[in-house]
Amino acid sequence: MPNMSKRIMFYSLVLLLVLSVNAYSSCPTKCSCYLDIKGRRVVLCKDGGLTGPLDLNGFGYDTEIIKITAPDDNTNLLTMSPAFQRYTKLEEIHVTKSNIPQLGMHFFFGLTKLDVLNLSQNNITQPLDHNFRGLDKLKELYLDDNRIQSLPSGTFRYLHELKVLSIQRNRIRELANRIFLEIGKLKVLKLSGNNLRELNPEVFRDVQELRHLECRGCALEKINKEIFSLLPYLSYLDLGDNEIKLIHTDNLKDLINLKVLKLDGNQLTVLHDNIFLNQAALKKINLARNHITKISANAFVELYNLTDIDLSFNKLEKVHEGAFGAVSSSLEMLNLSGNQMKLHTLKELASMENLKELKLSKCEIMDTKIEIYPPNLRVLDLSNNYISLLNTEYFPYSLKELDVSNNRIRGIDENDMKKLDDLKYLNLQKNPWSCDICFIVPLLERANRSATFSELICVSPYTVKGKTLGTIVKSELTWCSAASYSTGDPDFFLVAGDGRMRIIAASMSVCLFLLTILAVIGAVCYSRRHAARYYTHEDKLAMEGENIFENNHSPLFCDRELSFKFPLDANEKRISIATIEEVKKEHSITNGT
């Protein structure tokens, strides 16, 4: 049996080789030919520069997939022709970036095996029903990025087996009634990028089997509940990047099978109670890039299967207590990035045992010292904040992926690094790393283990600025350039062991030296000032004594009666300073001499 298996494998390889050689032997010039994973013969022409009517000379009749495209700087200038009719084995046709202006009548007639027709990124302006005649088995049609302005009723009526229709980013302003006539098996409809402004319920009357609807960037101002009453099986709805301002409680009530809802990029301000009341099957909801300031306590009530909520880049400052209570047992991913959140309002997250992924990027977070992290959290995004000190003691042991890039972290303590060593993914890029002995030693010791550490770029000191950590050796490290941002932390300097003691001792020595210098300067200044005042008063008193005896106008030599009034000047303060001679006189009187 083992020999038989080997023989079968050998012959299979030989057959595949023969088929591959055959595929290459009849390949058109400037094209490549190969077999895809299903063994189908593919002809790919991607160099561009093709002009005139589409010519398939050189293509083997056994070709099953044709792909004709071009680079942006060398597009094709082709017109359609009935050349495809001879290739009855074709299953897929892709002609893109070829400036095709219009489709001819019955050009695809007879291609009974064709499943996919992709004519995106051309200049088609007006497809008509007869353009698709003969494509009874076609399942997917792509007309994206053309110049289609209108589609008449019944445009696709010959495509009875069509499952996917994409007419995104055209110039359609209105969908005609019964435009989807006779394509009742349609499951996926993509209308995004057309300036429709509103959706007419009558348009969807012929496609009630629809499962997937996209109308992103269609300038819609409101949700028409009558549309969804016609689409009871819809499971995916994308109405992102529109101008919807409000969701009423009954807007979505008929979408009982909805699993994914995208309303990002609208103008919602409040999530009222019970707006998703009948969406018990809902699993993912995207409300990012709105203007939401408030989430009511019962906004997500009865969403028992909800696993993902994206509320990023709104205007939330706090979350109403109990807002996530209804989904606390099912929620697995929560994105609150881009909101100026007060983290203490998120303490209910700590009780969500199934929450695996939490995104808090660009939330102006300064500290990680808060108990909000769920016990089974695996992915945490704290990038683009103002975190200067990483406290891993608050992170759960279940954490496997951490992003703290683009913060203000200068170094990480050895104790914190030991906990980070167990992570499967760690992003530390774009932090102002201080590559000195105080901050970087724990990271430097790991630089030879992983690019996570070796590719970190030093910002200071100037001797290693711009260098990656992997190019630095420990002997290059200079003395500490700055202290930790958090003076309240027991490890004020982010160094380990005796390094901290050396820093503290050095700091105390510097302080003592400065105090000594200040004391000496103060003593010198005081001494000089005191001596100056002493000699000044001594000279003044000597001069006054001489004048008293030499001046005839002195009161001592005057015949008039002496009178004294005290104080001589009430507003002037007098300070008496005794001279050395006066002190001696007083001393002699005291001793009776």
Whether 497 is in a domain gets the answer yes
Q: Which helix (H) or strand (E) holds 521?
A: helix 498-550
We report the CATH number of the domain holding residue 402 as 3.80.10.10
Residue 370 is predicted with a pLDDT of: 83
- Helix residue ranges per DSSP H, 280-437: 414-420
Q: Which amino acid is at 504?
A: I
pLDDT band at 582 (very low <50, low <70, confident <90, very high): low
Whether 399 is in a domain gets the answer yes
Q: Which domain holds residue 459?
A: 365-503
**Residue 117: how many other CB atoms lie within 10 Å:** 24
Whether 582 is in a domain gets the answer no
Average pLDDT value for residue range 339-350: 88
Whether 434 is in a domain gets the answer yes
Residue 403 is predicted with a pLDDT of: 98
pLDDT band at 520 (very low <50, low <70, confident <90, very high): confident
Which residues are 94's β-sheet partners?
67, 118
Residue 408 is predicted with a pLDDT of: 97
Residues 418-463 pLDDT 10s? 999 999 999 999 999 999 988 899 999 999 888 899 999 999 999 8
pLDDT(366) > 60: yes
C-alpha separations of 114 from 89, 189, 341, 349, 444 in Å:
8, 20, 53, 52, 60
Whether 224 is in a domain gets the answer no
For residue 226, give the nearest of 197, 244, 201 by alpha carbon. Answer: 201
Residues 99-108 pLDDT 10s? 999 998 888 9
**Residue 360: how many other CB atoms lie within 10 Å:** 26
Number of folded domains in the chain? 1
Mean pLDDT is lowest, of 26-35, 209-218, 280-289, for 26-35
Whether 252 is in a domain gets the answer no
pLDDT over 70, % of the chain: 80
pLDDT over 90, % of the chain: 65
The pTM is what? Answer: 0.77
Whether 443 is in a domain gets the answer yes
Mean pLDDT is lowest, of 14-23, 214-223, 516-525, 575-584, for 14-23
Residues 386-409 as b/e (b if ≥16 CB within 10 A, e otherwise) read: ebbbbebeebeeebeebbbbbbeb
Residue 106 is predicted with a pLDDT of: 83
pLDDT(482) > 80: no
Structure tokens at 488: 């309240």
Whether 41 is in a domain gets the answer no
Residue 515 is predicted with a pLDDT of: 85
